[in-house]
Amino acid sequence: MTASGGDTQHGIRRRNLARVLRTVAAQGPLSRPAVAARIGLTRAGVAPLVDELLRAGLLVETGRAATGGRGRPGGELAVSDRGPAGIGAEIGVDHLAVCAVDLRGRVRARVAAGAANRHSAPGPVLRRLSALLAEVTAGLSAEGLRPAGLTVAVPGLVARGSTTVLHAPNLGWRAADLAPDLAGATTPGHEAVLPLTVENEANLGALAELRLGGRDGRPAPPPDFVHVSAESGIGAAIVVDGQLLRGARGFAGELGHVPVYPDGPVCDCGGRGCLEQYAGERAVLRAGGVTAEGAAAAPAGPGARIGLLARRAADGDAATVRALHEAGTALGIALAGAVNLLDPQAVVLGGALAELAPWVLPSLERELARRTAVAATDGRGGGPLVTVSRLGADGPLLGAAHAALQAVLDDPLHSRTPAHSPRN
């Protein structure tokens, strides 16, 4: 009589391998007894799991090099800086970017290129992205790394578990399946198809926050937060109990189309007075008096045009400062609705928005405080804590690369041989 029929020996072993790998990845280097203690297994139970992960090249013993031998059993364990690499890619309105992250979380390769993707057909954009992917992966094998998966960040709606961008208003894409054009792109000359995931960029920014928060002196995010990011549009990701809230179809987090002034200007989405009409990149550039030529002169890469705004504001340009103040007000009104609905512990400004925080935050926080007073009964005096992501515009790209590694962390031995696995 068992309460959970799925607990086969095989299933338990697979889960325990994942627990060992994730524990060492998050907290290592660790001794074998420390690993056992942290996951609640005996040392005898942990030993064969560790051996298997060492054989697979996913773990290494930090004592090995020093002793010159096969490593002491009492040596410390760390995840390998060779082996699987997560490949993250980002399709922005004005740029393309690709990076590779190893199991230790280090960025091992990164390229970015300016691009005029607004209202460009998917085909040419994906061919350029494939070339960047090939450039990044070509360099990996020299370092003993192999791509374990590819996650692509897009500024649009993606149905849960699908590789199809259903609607990306700022790219002008509808129902664009990225799989055919990206198949095999990262392993030129191979038959193998790499596991491909397509995901909204705001969700990946929040995942980066969850994955990288607490590392390298960054503050760990609370389990419940709303992550707001801006690329060309404005998106949010809602994290509840450390998990992304994706919505019934995967479309949750469309903060950019929350009505702010219901009788305001008509939005591309068909609504009126949506947040993007006041705090979207185009609206702020226009309100700040930046010409199309000025915007086009920004360098390539994530957040480039927002960087232009930040420089103008830092230089004291009055129109830009005023435009950012108004954007903060609109963001505060929309976020007040989100906070009243969701009661998060924090609101994190991420993506390219992080760079604008000095000029956006004061008006944002004022609106949030006055409009979330009912919820402010814990004595903190109005609204949740607003924090600024230290990952900034790199968040979605880093989140994509980390998401691509997740399959290895969830199922270390299955996913270590992508060449033999069908795309999942």
Contact positions toward a second copy, by CB under 8 A?
1, 3, 5, 7, 12, 15-16, 40-42, 45, 157, 166-167, 169, 174-175, 222-224, 236, 238, 240, 245-255, 257-262, 269-272, 274, 333-334, 336-338, 340-345, 367, 370-375, 377-378, 384
Which CB, 259 or 362, lies closer to a second copy? 259
Q: Which is nearer to a second copy, 12 or 179 (CB)?
A: 12
Length of the chain: 424
CA distance 321 to 305: 15
User: Closest separation between CB of residue 365 and a second copy, Å?
Assistant: 14
Residue 40, C-beta contacts closer than 8 angstroms, at least 6 positions apart: none
Q: Starting from the edge strand earliest in sequence, which strands make up the sheet with 157-158, in order?
A: 157-158, 164-168, 173-177
Hey, is 79 helix, strand or coil?
A: strand
- Name the minimum Å distance from CB 374 to a second copy: 4
Which lies closer to a second copy via its Cβ, residue 41 or residue 78? 41
Q: How far apart are CA 176 and CA 231, in angstroms?
A: 20
C-alpha distances (whole Å) from 110 to each of 51, 370, 397 are 33, 43, 10
Alpha-carbon gap, residue 256 to 278, rounded angstroms: 9
Strand 225-230 and strand 346-351: the pairing is parallel
Which two tokens mark 351?
A: 């993506």
Q: Show the DSSP H helices in 239-376 as ranges.
A: 276-279, 281-287, 292-296, 304-314, 318-342, 357-371
Q: Which is nearer to a second copy, 132 or 369 (CB)?
A: 369
- Using the minimum distance from each CB to a second copy, give the nearer residue, 7 or 135: 7
* C-alpha span between 297 and 295 (Å, rounded): 5
Half-sphere exposure of 150 (CA within 13 A, CB side): 29
Please, which residue, 240 or 297, has the CB nearer to a second copy? 240
370 phi, psi to nearest 5 deg? -75, -20
44/142 with CB nearer a second copy: 44
Q: Considering the complex, state which of residue 45 and residue 123 has its C-beta at the smaller distance from a second copy.
A: 45
Q: 250 with 242: CB under 8 angstroms?
A: no
End-to-end, the C-alpha distance of the chain in Å comes to 33
Closest contact distance (angstroms) between CB of 144 and a second copy is 32
- Shortest distance in whole angstroms from residue 348 CB to a second copy: 14
The least distance separating a second copy from the CB of residue 233, rounded to whole angstroms, comes to: 10
Q: From the CB of 245, what's the least distance to a second copy, in Å?
A: 6
Q: How far is the CB of 160 from a second copy (least distance, A)?
A: 10
Q: Give me the least distance between CB of 272 and a second copy, in Å please.
A: 8
